[in-house]
Amino acid sequence: MSRLATLTIQSPLPNLDDNNRLRIFSGSANLALSTEVARYLGMDLGPMVRKRFADGELYVQIQESIRGCDVYLIQPTCYPVNDNLMELLIMIDACRRASARQITAVVPYYGYARADRKTAGRESITAKLAANLITKAGASRVLAMDLHSAQIQGYFDIPFDHVYGSPVILDYLVNKGLSDIVVVSPDVGGVARARAFAKKLNDAPLAIIDKRRQAHNEAEVMNVIGDVAGKTAVLVDDIIDTAGTISEGGRILKQQGARQVYACATHAVFSPPAVERLSSGIFEEVIVTNTIPVSEGNRFPQLQILSVANVIGETIWRIHEDSSVSSMFR
């Protein structure tokens, strides 16, 4: 890792013997990431049966004793969000009924996070509803990465560990040796995220795109606050969904004279028409992590996918050992 990396990884990890109480299981949402996490911890994923009945109902069975164990269930609630959320709830319930000592829901991507408040009458705060479901199912604690809204941690009445994918992206950018960097927030709401990112990137200057959203999944870019002319602009966001916000941001940065534009985000939701927008030539690279699996059909030449398995694996180990998680990011 470069000297600018902000994540401290413990290496090598102690060998886990047969008497250890740590167990890792994976839902079906992102088996590849779960396998990487288990490998980092020097373990295999626990055996589990997952299947769907003819009427669409889900079935889960843990196939080893977990009585008295500390169980970590890795399952991002990405598309199809309702199926993946329900599978997580069933996994939690199965572990609770199997007398696990502690059940940690590891949710690399927390679905419904954008429904975190009421913006009009008669709306549901679905992020809170999902928190209630996970808690009532029997989770002892939750581990999530880059929540869309940090206040979602307060929706849970159980311990919550919030970790970040930015160290992985920062390390990648530092190793590219980019010059004249300006970090850009694609909207006013992301300024705190972009400011923290810029501070860790050699205190790079900050710019802000002022936009006004006309409807869900639609954005209109209005103005750029800050100097981007002749610079390498790094757009930083937590989620790329339809890519309307970030692609419009990239377009106006080019119009304002940015030499190159990089797009960075932790969660690659990539709902249509995201791929067409992102691969249109606006960006030098689109840098995301593997919290959500990216299908082959959603890959394009400018896409760079970085793994957060070591971050999640290290966090699991520190929780299990009752050591500090926040010190990883200092």
Please say if 211 is a catalytic residue.
Answer: yes
Task: Kindly report, residue by residue over 61-104, the tens digit of the pLDDT.
Answer: 999 999 999 999 999 999 999 999 999 999 999 999 999 999 99
What would the mean pLDDT of 184-199 be, rounded to a whole number? 93
And the tokens for 175?
């190793």
260 has pLDDT over 90: yes
The CATH number that domain 166-306 falls under is 3.40.50.2020
> Across residues 292-313, what is the average pLDDT?
97
Residue 84: closest CA among 240, 291, 270, 271: 291
* Residues carrying CATH 3.40.50.2020, the chain: 22-165+309-329, 166-306
Residue 4's pLDDT band (boundaries 50, 70, 90)?
very low
pLDDT of 175 > 60? The answer is yes
Checking DSSP bridges between strand 58-62 and strand 48-52, what pairing results, if any? antiparallel
Per-residue confidence (pLDDT) for residue 210, from 0 to 100: 87
Q: Which of 128, 200, 211, 231 is catalytic?
A: 211
Mean pLDDT to the nearest integer, 242-266 = 96
Mean pLDDT of 4-19: 54
Q: What is the pLDDT of residue 5?
A: 53
Round the average pLDDT of the chain to a whole number and report it: 93
Q: Domain 22-165+309-329 adopts which CATH fold?
A: Rossmann fold (3.40.50)
pLDDT for 298 equals 97
Q: pTM to 2 decimals?
A: 0.91
pLDDT at 19 over 70: no
